[in-house]
A = this chain, B = another copy of it.
Amino acid sequence: MTLLTVGTLAIDCVEAPHGERHEAIGGSASFLAAAAANFCPVQMVGVIGEDFPAGELDFFQNRGIDTSGVSRADGKTFHWHGRYEKDPNIRHTVTTDLNVLTDFRADLPPAFRKTEYVALGNIDPELQLRVLDQVENPKCVICDTMNYWIEGRNEALRRMLERVQIISVNDSEARQLSGEHNLVKAARAVRRMGPEYVVIKRGENGAILFSEDDVYVVMALPLESVIDPTGAGDSFAGAMMGYIARTGSHDVATLRKAMILGNVVASFAVEQFSLDGLRKLTHQQINDRYALFRKMTYFDKKLPFA
């Protein structure tokens, strides 16, 4: 199956303990699409400005991503400038320039409207709703959001949540959205808002999947060098949804395996700046790291006491 990804295409400036990168390609749509494309055909919707490097659209196309939903507008591309502390879970936004994103309407090309699997990056929930209004028969939708929308667009966000199957947020967002500090309670409260599955991303500390009567925990791979955490969450969600679209199922067993693959692909993403960790990623590398991750976490079913 095909996956539709909607979000930002950005030009980032990233400062991290191991170096910095200017004019780096970023944005939720970029990472969602690049990660998902390892698993299924991808359609991408977003907006770029005049300064977006033409070669980058070629990169997406070469990875099997249909970029016909990416419009080019007059003006500059969305710019983000961020700085990471030694603890990669802590980041500071230096500047955000919306630029062409201000007038982004998220219009879907007619060919994209029949797509049943949808990944909604972190954008205004009104835009996320506009996308869902255009999709004729959505089967499984994942969404992300952030504190800015939870505070400023809560009503639209709540309407949007009634129409998604999976929400993927970090722990502080889950806490803010639910008003509950304990993550088990927070996830339960968020599930009552609509999503069948709540995925809580915890950066270096892995991720937890909550469904009706199932909790599934995934620890992040301990990496020797985390160069650039930008896009880790979107790479995680993109790979998850890519696998879900590939299998055409979103039962608990599929979601569990999708979480592992999200984790694996995100581990490649953070090892290099920008999209570089995903540019040449192969099926063999994903297989190998999947096997490594299993070796790192496996324990048998033999109970300690007979």
Contact = CB atoms under 8 A, between A and B. Distances in A.
A183 interface: yes
A65 to B, nearest CB: 18
Given A205-B202, A305-B286, A299 B222 contact: no
Interface string A216-258: 1111011111100000000000000001000000000000110
* Oligomeric state, in copies: 2
Interface of A: 17, 39, 86, 181-185, 202, 204-206, 208, 215-219, 221-226, 243, 256-257, 260-261, 283-284, 286-287, 290-291, 294, 296-297, 299-301, 303-305
Given A217-B297, A222-B208, A256-B299, A305 B291 contact: no
Q: What does DSSP make chain A's interface, helix, strand, loop or mixed?
A: mixed
Nearest to A216: B296
A215 B208 contact: no
Highest count of chain B CB atoms <10 Å: which of A183, A219, A225 = A219
A243 to B, nearest CB: 7
Contact of A215 (B86, B222, B225, B291): B222
Contacts of A206: 205-206, 219
Contacts of A217: 219, 221-222, 296-297
Contacts of A300: 257
Contacts of A182: 224-226
6 contacts: A202-B205, A208-B222, A217-B222, A219-B219, A286-B304, A290-B304
B208 A205 contact: no
